[in-house]
């Protein structure tokens, strides 16, 4: 079965500093990986995905993620954090089911950007 | 454009009462639809998915059921709510591409 792990419950960073939210994956075959963000009491918003191609994927709101096959990682990054980036971030991998696919989510990492 | 609607946004229900949460999508046909539950503001657990009208698959045994009476409608139900059913319920759909789109969620509190 596919799985993703987010080793950090919370990441704290000062505004203007670079941020990294970590994700590692365990899959058989080629992974389809995703990052989502969730603001309080809201649904998940798509940030970016990796399917194939360039290892550096650019997404919404200035976020990017680097796919590293040798380290089985897909860390989310942003060069300069904003206070408004404070939210809950989820890494996910797509898994095949009988007649469809589903997303398997990590446990989430809370990002706190302080002014 | 493709959109997904979920309602109600919040719900407070007594133990033992019934539940009906509705999700509809617009701007697409024959979507794959999903119900997820998020407990304690963290991990998401897939509850049900549907690949077509009347086709429901359950991921985990529980006090809930799902139905898909129309192509773009997905309903989550319970005959008698338990305290443990409290959580944040999210509907999602997957179109022809790789992406998944989530609704805004329903916060259910069982008291």
How many angstroms separate the CA atoms of B56 and B34, rounded?
A: 10
Higher pLDDT, A40 or A5: A5
Q: Do B42 and A51 touch (CB under 8 A)?
A: no
The 10s digit of each residue's pLDDT in A39-70 is: 987 889 999 999 988 899 999 999 999 999 99
> Which tokens is A20 given?
């990294």
Tokens, residue B92: 């999602």
Strand partners, B11: B108
Shortest CA distance to B98 belongs to which of A54, A11, A103, A37?
Answer: A103
Cβ proximity of B111 and B10 under 8 Å: no
Judge: A42–B105 Cβ closer than 8 Å, yes or no: yes
Q: Which residues of B touch A49 (CB under 8 A)?
A: 98-99
SS3 B84: helix
Phi and psi at residue A54, to the nearest 5°: -60, 140
What pLDDT was estimated at residue B3?
87
Query: How close, in Å, is residue A43 to chain B by CA atoms?
Result: 4
* Per-position pLDDT tens, chain B of length 111: 778 999 999 999 999 999 999 999 998 888 899 999 998 767 899 999 999 999 999 887 678 999 999 999 999 999 999 999 999 999 999 876 667 899 999 999 999
Spell out which residues of chain B touch residue A51, defining contact as CB-CB under 8 Å. 98
A101 reaches B (C-beta below 8 A): yes
Chain centroid to Cα A18, Å, comes to 15
Interface probe for B, chosen from A43, A103, A104 (most Cβ of B below 10 Å), is A43
DSSP codes joined into one string, chain A: --EEE---SEEEEETTS-EEE--EEE-SSS--EEEEEE-TT--EEEEEEE-SS-SEEE-GGG-EEEEETTTTEEEEEESS--GGG-EEEEEEEEEE-SSSEEEEE---EEEEEE-
Tell me which residue in A41, A42, A46 faces B99 most closely, judged by beta carbons.
A46
Confidence grade of residue A98 (pLDDT, cut at 50, 70, 90): confident
Residues near B60 by beta carbon (within 8 Å), at least 6 away in sequence: B45, B46, B47
A46 and chain B in contact, CB less than 8 A: yes
Q: What average pLDDT does the structure give for chain A?
A: 93
Beta strands in B1-111 (DSSP E): 3-7, 10-13, 19-26, 32-38, 44-52, 55-58, 65-70, 73-78, 87-94, 100-102, 106-110
Residues 29-58 of B with CB under 8 A from A: 32, 34, 41-44, 46, 49, 51, 57
- Reduce the DSSP state of residue B6 to 3 states and report it: strand
Given CB atoms, is A108 within the 8 Å cutoff of chain B? yes
- Using CA atoms, how far apart are residues B14 and A49, in angstroms rounded to an integer? 40
ω into residue A114 within 30 of 0, thus cis?
A: no
Give me the pLDDT at residue A58, please: 95
**Given CB atoms, is A53 within the 8 Å cutoff of chain B?**
no
Q: The tokens 């969730």 sit on which residue? A: A38
CB spacing of B44 vs A97 below 8 angstroms = no
What pLDDT, on a 0 to 100 scale, did the predictor assign at position A20? 98
Contact B103 A88 (CB under 8 A): no
pLDDT at position B22 is 95
Nearest CA in chain A to B47: A102
- Nearest chain A residue to B35 by CA: give it: A102
Confidence (pLDDT) at B41: 63
């Amino acid at each position: 079965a596919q799985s993703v792990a987010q080793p950090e419950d919370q990441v704290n960073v000062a505004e203007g500093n670079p941020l990294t939210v970590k994700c590692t994956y365990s899959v058989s075959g080629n992974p389809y990986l995703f990052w989502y963000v969730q603001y309080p009491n809201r649904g998940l918003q798509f940030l970016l995905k990796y399917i194939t191609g360039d290892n550096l994927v650019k997404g919404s709101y200035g976020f990017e993620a680097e796919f590293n096959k040798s380290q089985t990682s897909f860390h989310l990054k942003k060069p300069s954090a904003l206070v408004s980036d404070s939210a809950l971030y989820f890494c996910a991998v797509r898994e095949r089911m009988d007649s469809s696919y589903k997303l398997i989510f990590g446990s989430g990492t809370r990002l706190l950007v302080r002014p | 454009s493709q959109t997904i609607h979920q309602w109600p946004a919040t719900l407070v229900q007594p133990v033992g009462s019934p539940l009906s949460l509705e999700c509809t999508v617009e701007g697409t046909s024959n979507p794959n639809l999903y119900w997820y539950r998020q407990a304690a503001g963290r991990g998401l657990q897939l509850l049900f998915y549907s690949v077509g009208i009347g086709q429901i698959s359950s991921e985990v045994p529980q006090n809930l059921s799902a139905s898909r009476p129309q192509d773009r409608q997905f309903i989550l139900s319970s005959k008698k709510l338990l305290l443990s059913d409290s959580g944040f319920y999210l509907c999602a759909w997957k179109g022809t591409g790789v992406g998944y789109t989530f609704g805004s969620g329903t916060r259910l509190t069982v008291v």
